[in-house]
Amino acid sequence: MMKYADHVYRSADDRLDLYARIYDAEGPPLLLMHGLTRNSADFEALASHLAGKYKLIVPDQRGRGRSDHDPDPQNYTPAIYVDDMFALVDGLQLGTVGMIGTSMGGLMAMMMAAIAPERFDSLILNDIGPAVEASGLARIQGYVGQLAPFDSWQQAADHCQSVHGDIMIGYDAQDWLAFARHVCKETADGKICFAYDPAISEGLSGSDQTVVPPDLWAIWDQLSALPTLVIRGALSDILSPATIVEMQSRHPDQFSAVEIAGRGHTPMLDEADALAAIDQFYANMGK
């Protein structure tokens, strides 16, 4: 695993201490933002691939990983996370930034680029777009925030395999243990639990669902000048092929896409095809 520095900063509302990994380098800065239930560890393989060439900023959103939990679950929304991300990049004085966003992190990246287009020069969306399939959201609703702690890492790995095994083709026992160690943490009493505040699930509930911002196509239409790569898991139930076609029709000149076999929502961005597409995307930009 590549070395990184721990960075702690205040949330945009000055209520929480938030955490980010910084992989320092002289190259252009990239902001890597994880999905709903994940954390900065999700990007370890991609960071190892990119580190040394780019300055990587990999945060834990509030309520995840090493960032503080928010006592008010209503603050677990993309709009609040976006404010936190601006606080992070402002504090680091990064200048123009490229963004890589997985799932919820991709929604945030689109929002940020629409708010301040002059501050971002590239966008990679990992299995997310302006339309989010209802079937995929329903599947995620079925497992987020509902489990008691596990008694062992093997039990956690077995659970991860039971939930994701049909969309992570080719994973073996060691892969599932590594996956569990990325998404879970050990508690003071030796139990294993997911590394997020269970209260994040409240944003997925019923008609009050706030995980996906409204009117994403209007946001997408503002990004036609932004070079964009979309990575889709071939088995995804969140990002449909039809959505990618529509995205390209509205964004024809600065758009590319790749599909990753044997992956659903979401690719881990350690797959050979994903890494090759990312490398080519940045090479085409001269980054």
Q: What is the CATH number of the domain that holds 118?
A: 3.40.50.1820
- CA 124 to CA 232: how far, in whole Å? 11
- CA 19 to CA 16: how far, in whole Å? 10
- Number of independent structural domains in the chain: 2
Q: Do residues 25 and 52 touch, judged by C-beta distance below 8 A?
A: yes
What are the DSSP calls for 139-163, one per residue?
A: HHHTTTT--PPBSSHHHHHHHHHHH
Residues 129 and 165 in one domain: no
- Stronger pLDDT, 213 or 145, i.e. the higher one: 213
Residues 150 and 138 in one domain: no
Average pLDDT estimate for 212-234: 93
Residues 42 and 168 in one domain: no
Residues 9 and 137 in one domain: yes
Q: Could you tell me if residue 200 is inside a domain?
A: no
Q: Which residues of 150-183 are buried (b: 16+ CB within 10 A; e: fewer)?
A: beeeeebbbbbbeebeebbeebeeeebbbbbbbb
Residues 11 and 97 in one domain: yes
Residues 26 and 105 in one domain: yes
Q: Do residues 230 and 255 touch, judged by C-beta distance below 8 A?
A: yes
Q: What is the pLDDT, as a whole number, of residue 134?
A: 87
Q: Could you tell me if residue 202 is inside a domain?
A: no
Residues 213 and 136 in one domain: yes
- CA 165 to CA 176: how far, in whole Å? 9
Domain housing 53 = 5-144+209-285
Average pLDDT estimate for 263-269: 97
Which is nearest to 252 in space by CA: 231, 273, 228?
Answer: 228
Q: Could you tell me if residue 170 is inside a domain?
A: yes
Q: Express each pLDDT in 22-70 by its tens digit.
A: 999 889 999 999 999 999 999 999 999 999 999 999 999 999 999 999 9
Q: Do residues 16 and 30 touch, judged by C-beta distance below 8 A?
A: no
| pLDDT bucket at 97, cuts 50 / 70 / 90 | very high
| 138 pLDDT higher than 90 | no
Residues 188 and 213 in one domain: no
Q: Which amino acid is at 234?
A: A
Residues 126 and 150 in one domain: no
Q: Could you tell me if residue 204 is inside a domain?
A: no
Which is nearest to 35 in space by CA: 109, 104, 88?
Answer: 104
Residues 139 and 151 in one domain: no
Bridge partners of 64?
196
Q: What is the pLDDT, as a whole number, of residue 270?
A: 97
**pTM for this predicted structure:** 0.96
Percentage of residues of the chain with pLDDT beyond 90: 87
- CA 144 to CA 82: how far, in whole Å? 21
| 204 pLDDT higher than 70 | no
Q: Which amino acid is at 23?
A: Y
Q: Which of 172, 195, 218 is the last residue of a domain?
A: 195
Q: What is the three-state SS of 92-115? A: HCCCCEEEEEECHHHHHHHHHHHH
| 207 pLDDT higher than 60 | no
Q: Do residues 282 and 276 touch, judged by C-beta distance below 8 A?
A: no
Q: Could you tell me if residue 226 is inside a domain?
A: yes
Residues 40 and 91 in one domain: yes
Residues 169 and 219 in one domain: no
- CA 152 to CA 110: how far, in whole Å? 38
Average pLDDT estimate for 88-102: 97
